[in-house]
Amino acid sequence: MDSLTSSPGIESSAPSGAASEPTRTRQPHRLQGALFQPIGDEGRAELVERRLVDAINRGHLRAGERLPSESELARSFGVAPVTVREALLAVRGRGLIVTRRGRHGGSFVADDADPLAFTRAELRTTSRLALRDMGAHYAAITASAVRLAARRADPSEAGHVRARLERLEELDPEQQRRLIDDVQVELVSLSQSARLTREQMKLQAEFSPYLRLVGPDTAGLRRQADSLIAVIDAVEEGRQDEAGRRTEAMVAEVIDALIELQITLRESP
């Protein structure tokens, strides 16, 4: 498997260098770049453990997927290999990863790791105020970025991003979900702001599991893609306010759907 440690090239506004859709030999997608950032001076095993657990529980590392080697993780997180080893031991103790020996061995995400179950449990206990606050934060950053993209991007760049979404039906549901995530980040990258793009990557990693809950099937994914295409069209045509409004409406629809789902989850045994 290719290393998950490489970050996407967000300094360029053009999406042409973006990673291709996942295939059988799946390439790391851009949200993993947000998860595997250096920890810095707080290089504690607990923080490495938390990053890995979040990556698994939020679905950015899938069941059966091989983790980078200890040395690769240490380099990515900016910590000592012994710190990574301690963190992996703790994650293994939670039952989220297993270790296999031999030539093709290493640490792998456990087959029974279920990110949707984790997100569903989080949704059940999260306050409605916290959900709306998460939506407000996501909408504020994303809408500002797409307005900027509508002002700065060349129409051909937005067209290229939309063309990727037009291939949605060629992919399986998991690949469709990852494509929608990647396209959202690519669209924000058209703002030509590296800071906004990095922030969007972090937000998308947090928001993506909730998008999975409200769009669990092909029909739900198609609706999300259609909403995103409407934003892309506004960006391509340079309609800044329309791009921002459509983004805010898209996020509001997701938050409302999450609140409805939350009510159902709390009423169920």
- Tell me the pLDDT band of 11, cut-offs 50, 70 and 90: very low
Q: Are 179 and 29 in contact (CB under 8 A)?
A: no
Question: What confidence score (pLDDT) does residue 23 get?
Answer: 42
Question: What confidence score (pLDDT) does residue 26 get?
Answer: 53
Q: What's the rounded Cα separation, in Å, for the pair 242 and 88? A: 46
Residue 92 clears pLDDT 50, i.e. is over it: yes
Question: What confidence score (pLDDT) does residue 31 get?
Answer: 58
Cα angle at 181 between 166 and 188, to 5 degrees? 90
Q: Identify the CA nearest to 206 among candidates 111, 108, 137.
A: 137
Question: What confidence score (pLDDT) does residue 126 get?
Answer: 96
Question: What confidence score (pLDDT) does residue 116 get?
Answer: 85
Domain ranges of the chain: 21-112, 117-267
Residue 115 clears pLDDT 90, i.e. is over it: no
Residue 15 clears pLDDT 80, i.e. is over it: no
Which of the two residues, 112 and 190, has the higher pLDDT score? 190
pTM of the full structure: 0.75
Give me the DSSP letters along 39-55.
Answer: -TT---HHHHHHHHHHH
Question: What confidence score (pLDDT) does residue 19 get?
Answer: 44
pLDDT in tens, 150-177: 999 999 999 999 999 999 999 998 899 9
Q: What's the rounded Cα separation, in Å, for the pair 101 and 189? A: 41
Question: What confidence score (pLDDT) does residue 151 get?
Answer: 97
Architecture of the domain made up of 21-112? Orthogonal Bundle (1.10)
- Tell me the pLDDT band of 105, cut-offs 50, 70 and 90: confident
- Ranked by mean pLDDT, the top range of 49-63, 113-127, 131-145 is 131-145
Mean pLDDT along residues 4-24 = 43
Task: Say which DSSP state 33 is in.
Answer: H
Least confident of 17-26, 33-42, 51-60, 235-244: 17-26
Out of 3.30.450.40, 1.20.120.530, 3.80.10.10, 1.10.10.10, the CATH code matching 117-267 is 1.20.120.530
Question: What confidence score (pLDDT) does residue 14 get?
Answer: 43
